[in-house]
Amino acid sequence: IEVIYNGVSPRFRPDVPLEERARVARKYGLRSPYLLFLGGEKPHKNLQGVVRAFAEALRKAPLPHVLALAGPPPKSPARLEALIAALDLTERVLRPGLVEEDDLAGLLAGADVLLYPTLYEGFGLPVVEAMACGTPVLTSSTSALQEIAGGYAYLVDPMDLDAIARGIVALTTDEKVRS
């Protein structure tokens, strides 16, 4: 048996033009440099863990990055907004909301890092799409993601917020780790 993984559209490539990246950033109100979380607020997406780890990463290093939380808006945003405020991240967390399919390559290519430390996934297409764009990926060492990343992503235990924070710092400050 040979497993053939999902492919990605040819629009996901490392040479997405800078103009396209800038257009998408303007459209969604992003400023560079940004870290990208792509997903909703379902518990397995680990959104609150990503926000907490981002706050910890900022305590570890003076990063200039903002965190862009792209995906469907939560039905009840109060809990997430309270967490963001409690961690003093109001000015550092951006909420672009749902991203149109045509904008996804520019969004991924423009990010410094894709943060995708989900608790479980059946496949994890955003990981492959980001990698196709040449964007470094931080993802889970669990479920299908470790296999999908194929040794080319920074793998973390998605329950270990300190490991996620260390990964954020490493991927944003160490060119060797990024490559």
- Determine the pLDDT at residue 132: 95
- Determine the pLDDT at residue 142: 85
Phi-psi bin for 131: left (phi > 0), alpha (psi -120 to 50), beta? alpha
Q: Which residues contact 131 (CB under 8 A, 6 or more apart)?
A: 137, 149, 152, 153
Q: Is the Cβ–Cβ distance between 113 and 133 less than 8 Å? A: no
- If pLDDT is split at 50, 70 and 90, which confidence band does 77 have? confident
* pLDDT above 70 coverage of the chain, percent: 100
Q: What is the pLDDT of residues 112-168, one digit of tens each?
A: 999 999 998 888 899 999 999 999 999 999 878 888 888 899 999 999 999 999 999
Q: How many helices (H) and strands (E) does the chain have?
A: 8, 6
Q: Is the dihedral of CA 94, 78, 167, 128 positive or negative?
A: negative
DSSP designation for 74: P
Residue 41 has pLDDT above 90, yes or no: no
- Determine the pLDDT at residue 148: 85
Residue 3 has pLDDT above 80, yes or no: no
Q: Work out the average pLDDT over 27-44.
A: 92
What is the Cα 133 distance to its own chain's centre? 13
